[in-house]
Amino acid sequence: MVLSQDAITNSPYVILNAAMTVDGKIATATGDSKISSFQDLKRVHRLRASVGGILVGVRTIIADNPSLTLRYARGKKPVRIIADSNARTPPNARVIKVDPEVKTYICVSENASSERIESLESAGAEILVCGKEQVDLSEMMRILKSKSIDRILLEGGGKLNWSMLSNGLVDEVSVALSPLVIGGERAITLADGEGVRLVKEGIKLSLKKTSRYGQDLVLFYRVSR
Ligand SMILES: NC(=O)c1ccc[n+]([C@@H]2O[C@H](COP(=O)([O-])OP(=O)(O)OC[C@H]3O[C@@H](n4cnc5c(N)ncnc54)[C@H](OP(=O)(O)O)[C@@H]3O)[C@@H](O)[C@H]2O)c1
């Protein structure tokens, strides 16, 4: 039996999910990320219905203005969680304004200005301070777990995906591989950030299953520990 992250560190169980082109991108350099099929979108919404929270980085909020709501599946609506050290989330973002009965947690650092925090709180968001200069992801996960959020769907983008993976905070990875090549050396990939120096230092995954959703091939992995 593989021990879950939950069991090891008292952190929520985390599933990273992304829609990716064959050349490993999750968005173009301009930030366009409409990659996967409608069949896959419905799978993602069923996945959303199985978790307590959906987590994204602030650049995804700024680029896409997603509402991160549950639309193509039934179930309990997960809370929205944003890693946003400097409270840059616009107070009128859809993630706060759409479905206001569902909580939106903005995880900031001690660096975030009180004016920005106040305007986000007035807009309806709840602020969690996790870390000094940048959001400390391990602390963020402990706080979320203490709020009984036991299972989280990490929905990008590339920079946050890498930070979560490299901090050992991800348990599963599912990737919808879309039959597209979009190129672009500045396009966003599944995991950006610093990366490792050597291939052998990479984060190892083990393939659990593959399924076809329309033209997309979805690969389901467990993160090896
Ligand atoms: N195809 C897909 O499945 C998919 C899914 C999601 C997003 N996307 C695309 O991905 C793009 C955005 O990705 P991105 O890589 O630019 O940004 P991102 O991962 O969405 O957000 C990164 C930001 O999160 C904040 N953050 C806070 N704490 C962090 C930490 N400990 N480690 C890392 N980041 C932390 C940082 O901003 P601060 O320093 O200000 O805190 C950082 O710049 C968009 O174009 C979006 O469309 C695609």
pLDDT, residue 225, reads 82
63 lines ligand 1 (CB under 6 A): yes
Count helices and strands (H / E) in the chain. 7, 11
**pLDDT confidence of residue 8:** 52
Probe residue for ligand 1, chosen from 16, 33, 37, 186 as the CB with the greatest number of ligand atoms within 8 Å: 33
What kind and span of H or E run contains 97?
helix 94-97
Residues of the chain with pLDDT under 50: 1-7
Which CATH superfamily is 5-223 part of? Dihydrofolate Reductase, subunit A (3.40.430.10)
Tens digit of each residue's pLDDT (9 = 90 or more) over 87-135? 999 999 999 999 999 999 999 999 999 999 999 999 999 999 999 999 9
In this structure, the residue with its CA closest to atom 41 of ligand 1 is 85
Domain extents in the chain: 5-223
Q: How far does the centroid of ligand 1 lie from the alpha carbon of residue 207, in Å? A: 25
| DSSP codes of every residue in 183-216 | --TTSEESS-SS--SSGGGSPPEEEEEEEEETTE
pLDDT for residue 3: 47
Residue of 33, 60, 143 with the most ligand 1 atoms within 8 Å of its CB, for mutation: 60
- Which atom of ligand 1 sits closest to the CA of residue 60? 20
